[in-house]
Chain A
């Protein structure tokens, strides 16, 4: 009897009941039945591993099934699965959590509170104050980075001996960790032994305490951050400067064009796109500023340098108001997503141009 003679329902049943590695419908059924069962019967840790094993079984059958037929899908699945598990799923989870009242250090089950967390966060004057701090520091650090990065790029846009090695020296700060930079600058800002204080004392005769005043502390953080990240702006601007064809400058020299006009008419159009990308990228990163503040001032003096990211950390892990912090985090995320979309839009525009 060939398979064609068997009636359709029986064939499906037969296929379903065959214990084969490619039998994914059966694996799916086992998975869907086993998941709630294991959650109901076993404690969380055990049920997690049982669910994981069932999911692995399902994955194996799907892989065996797709082998040799959907190569593209097979190749990207592991990466997409991992990204989903560690990025997308946690994000969805915390989004859900932001509508509940939940504290990670209490055994109490989460209780539905609707938009309460969001109204609480948005009507909290402290949050607006931290947002204000963040914006001040973002504006300061990004503008400083753009200016310094641009000047560095101008410096490195000409050939000179050892240029490549000096470039690497300037790029080194970018490769350092925030922890190391934070520790460095604590040393440099130290009122007694720090280089900064010593330099100021040479003129005024008084020890210089930078980190005790509001604007001093902000300036201290901004200076360290800008020192680290100006080279990034420099690299992008440099790539733009080098791409300007030489003959344009030669033509300008023949026409005796002024230096400013030469810059605005020839150089600037070539670096405009890259400047915009650098600006957006650095703004996104500066909005997330956490490590450096955490190590240099820990938000002080008072709360003058507490950024929104540090605030999320405090609410989540020091006050243990888990769900409130997720609501706050989502407001930060929203800002970053808007900026990221702008960035990706301009990046893809640029990719089309080049």
Chain B
């Protein structure tokens, strides 16, 4: 763990120490038995994901083999068929629409996370540097909107979107996801702004910098890790979201989770290899992000419970 190259971002460090991910922390060293057990348990825990990825490379017969096959000749057919396949034996191959669904998922989560980040960062800066009357009340109300059951909010929003013609449009679902990510963005970014030292800002103000300049040139560059953490976590949340997308996206704006849920009971009910291929393609971005940005993720996951 000590082989971490280069200096870690200052904000990420204390949390890692709290989880004992740095050798400086006071956790003891495990013996051989303990280490072995940890390896076995981790492998078992990850096994369901691994098995799906393996299944995606199996032929139709291999996926249905009893007993299950651990060693087989891998094939890429399933991945090709996700996007293009024939629905009945002998019929010509058709476009399945999954290209569009993957684009929709990427586009909708990308835009909504960017919007939430912009609006949320401004608000967080306001809450952190220019406290209003009842600042904490606002912040707690914002946090509690995150706990709301989606099913309660979705009924009126469904009616609202139908009346205004926003149902099934990109604008509607993007606006909804922006708000969905906003409480988290505000709280995360506020905790990062709170950690910054005020000395530099005060010095800049004395030298005549405007508020906007202080924000853009001094504060924003220092909270890059926070922006990354918020973006990553928001992207995963939005990418995975199902209920809002199920009810409010139209045929043209359908996202992958919705399309995937519809294929489960549909024409490919027992074509496990194909289903696994869809899932694998859907998981790849999440797994890459999880591994590449672990530090940021840990902070996002434990947000609101572990201080800093």
Do the two shown chains form a genuine complex with each other? yes
**A residues with CB within 8 A of B:** 44-45, 48-49, 71-76, 78-80, 82-83, 85-91, 93-94, 97, 104, 152, 155-164, 166-180, 182-188, 192-193, 195, 198, 227, 232, 235-236, 238-239, 241-246, 274, 277-278, 281, 284, 287-288, 290-291, 294-295, 309, 312-313, 316-317, 322, 325-326, 329-330, 332-333, 336-337, 340-341, 343-344, 347-348, 350-351, 354
**Would B126 and A152 count as touching, CB distance under 8 A?**
no
> In the complex, A152→B23 CA distance in Å?
20
For A175, list chain B residues within 8 Å (CB). Answer: 236, 240, 286-287, 289-290, 297
Give the shortest distance, in Å, between A116 (CB) and chain B (any CB).
18
Scan residues 124-174 of chain B and give those whose CB is less than 8 A from a CB of chain A.
125-127, 129-132, 138, 140, 142-145, 147-153, 155-160, 162-165
> In the complex, A45→B161 CA distance in Å?
10
Interface string of B272-291 (1 = CB under 8 A from A): 10011001001100110111
For B275, list chain A residues within 8 Å (CB). Answer: 183, 187
Out of B18, B19, B152, B164, name the residue touching A330 (CB < 8 Å).
B152
Interface string of B32-51 (1 = CB under 8 A from A): 00110111011101101101
Out of B20, B68, B147, name the residue touching A159 (CB < 8 Å).
B20
**Would B25 and A155 count as touching, CB distance under 8 A?**
no
For B89, list chain A residues within 8 Å (CB). Answer: none
For B158, list chain A residues within 8 Å (CB). Answer: 104, 316-317
For B264, list chain A residues within 8 Å (CB). Answer: 182-183, 186, 295
**Would B301 and A232 count as touching, CB distance under 8 A?**
yes
Number of interface residues of B (CB under 8 A): 108
> Quick check: is B200 within 8 A (CB to CB) of the other chain?
no
For A329, list chain B residues within 8 Å (CB). Answer: 149, 151-152, 155
**Would B247 and A243 count as touching, CB distance under 8 A?**
no
> Quick check: is B1 within 8 A (CB to CB) of the other chain?
yes
> Quick check: is B211 within 8 A (CB to CB) of the other chain?
yes
Give the shortest distance, in Å, between A264 (CB) and chain B (any CB).
19
Given contacts A82-B179, A86-B175, A344-B140, contact A157 B20 (CB under 8 A): yes
Q: Which of B155, B257, B272 has the most CB of A within 10 A?
A: B155
Which stretch (B76-84, B95-103, B115-123, B201-209) binds chain A?
B115-123
**B residues with CB within 8 A of A:** 1, 17-21, 23, 25-30, 34-35, 37-39, 41-43, 45-46, 48-49, 51-52, 55, 63-68, 119-120, 122-123, 125-127, 129-132, 138, 140, 142-145, 147-153, 155-160, 162-165, 175-176, 178-179, 182-183, 186, 211, 236, 239-243, 247, 257, 260-261, 264, 270, 272, 275-276, 279, 282-283, 286-287, 289-291, 294, 297-298, 301-302, 304-307
**Would B306 and A172 count as touching, CB distance under 8 A?**
no
Give the shortest distance, in Å, between A269 (CB) and chain B (any CB).
16
For B19, list chain A residues within 8 Å (CB). Answer: 235, 238-239, 242
For B145, list chain A residues within 8 Å (CB). Answer: 83, 87-88
Q: Which of A158, A162, A317 has the most CB of B within 10 A?
A: A158
Give the shortest distance, in Å, between A299 (CB) and chain B (any CB).
14
Give the shortest distance, in Å, between B188 (CB) and chain A (any CB).
13
Name the prevailing secondary structure of the B interface residues: helix
**Would A277 and B305 count as touching, CB distance under 8 A?**
yes
CB-nearest residue of chain B to A309: B151
**Would A288 and B261 count as touching, CB distance under 8 A?**
no
Q: Which of A79, A159, A329 has the most CB of B within 10 A?
A: A79
A-B contact pairs, 18 of them (CB 8 A): A79-B122, A80-B138, A86-B153, A93-B160, A104-B162, A155-B34, A160-B30, A166-B38, A175-B289, A176-B286, A180-B279, A193-B65, A238-B20, A246-B26, A326-B156, A329-B149, A333-B152, A350-B307
For B26, list chain A residues within 8 Å (CB). Answer: 242, 244-246
For B257, list chain A residues within 8 Å (CB). Answer: 177, 179-180
Give the shortest distance, in Å, between A343 (CB) and chain B (any CB).
7
> In the complex, A295→B258 CA distance in Å?
11
For A184, list chain B residues within 8 Å (CB). Answer: 48-49, 52, 279
**Would B240 and A239 count as touching, CB distance under 8 A?**
no
**Would A170 and B45 count as touching, CB distance under 8 A?**
yes
